[in-house]
Amino acid sequence: MTILAGAALFEGAVAWLFKQMLERNVPHMVSRWGGLFAWLLSIILGLAVIKSLSKRLERGGKTPHRWLFPAVFAGLTAIITAISVFFAVFSFPVSFDKESDSWSTIFLPKLQGCPVAFEQRPTHPFLAEYDYRIRLGERNNSAYFRLWPNTGGRTYLNVYRVSEDKLLLKDKDVSYLVDLAQRQVYLVRCERGEDGSESTIHSAIPLSEKPFDSMGSATVCFTDGTSSVAIPYDLDLRSCEYIGCIMDYSFYTPDEQPEGEGHPQYREKSSPHDE
């Protein structure tokens, strides 16, 4: 119990330090599973070490040295504290204001003369986690649509032209439809045909500039407590054309990056930032 209490106190000190440094409210610092893992590991390690030492001393007919169990206690405390701090630091999200200059911009092919841009920004000081959004229109007359955040490391999005006013974006998690005629971005579920390829869309969930909180099969919940539900949306995808890939802060043409299901090869190429 002392080991657990000590680790919790140290973890609280780290949380307080982050709060003072960033001058903002900090959410709970340790993820639920991370804290549970640390506690279970402390109990298992403690029981295993004590049982092993007891058996060894009993077989040798010796009495433990007066510093033996304090050393075990100190070692376990250090291990569990390190685990707690690890989860505290690596689960700490960095928040940015909506108008933050940290967004980087990747321009996609225009639809009917309207600029379409994919924007991203880091959300963690150490891990490769990012916020995504789509921007339609020029800076002074633009609409923003937040996408599902990337919490699993750097990735890529394949881009398809469905028609003259529609683009389909597919990443490792979900697919999005950019509909310029309606000036709207949707989260979509693509149905597969008999040959296994994605052929149709039957419903779509309208997105907005509000950040995601959770995502279901027919509903998206936003951080402000509101939600958006799927609406009927029939679209044939069998004639869509692969026109490129978003990766590494750049847009690659089919000649530069062929269509693929796996992660493309990393490339060194910089995309100009939107000034």
Q: Could you tell me which of 77, 66, 56 has the C-alpha nearest to residue 8?
A: 77
Q: Could you tell me which of 211, 223, 217, 226 has the C-alpha nearest to residue 149?
A: 211
Q: pTM of the full predicted structure?
A: 0.62
Residue ranges of domains in the chain: 2-90, 104-252
Q: Identity (one letter) of the amino acid at 213? A: D
Question: Beta-strand (E) ranges in the chain?
Answer: 104-111, 114-122, 130-136, 143-146, 156-163, 166-170, 175-179, 184-192, 198-206, 212-215, 219-222, 227-229, 231-236, 241-247, 250-252
| Angle, vertex CA 106, rays to CA 100 and CA 112, nearest 5 | 115
Burial class (CB in 10 A: 0-12, 13-18, 19+), 99: exposed
- Alpha-carbon distance values, 185 to 135, 188, 206, 219 (Å): 9, 9, 6, 15
Residues in contact with 9: Cβ distance below 8 Å, sequence separation at least 6, in sequence order:
none
How does DSSP classify residue 197?
Answer: S
- In angstroms, rounded to a whole number, what is the distance separating the alpha carbons of residues 211 and 224? 8
> In the chain, which residue ranges form alpha helices assigned H by DSSP?
2-22, 32-60, 68-90
Per-residue pLDDT tens listing for the chain (275 residues)? 555 555 556 656 665 565 555 444 444 434 444 555 656 666 676 667 777 777 777 776 766 666 766 777 777 777 766 766 666 555 554 443 444 457 888 999 888 888 899 998 887 666 677 889 999 988 778 899 999 988 776 578 899 999 999 999 988 778 999 999 899 999 998 888 777 778 899 999 999 999 998 888 899 999 899 999 999 999 998 889 999 999 878 898 888 888 875 555 544 444 444 43
SS3 state of residue 85: helix
- In angstroms, rounded to a whole number, what is the distance separating the alpha carbons of residues 155 and 128? 10
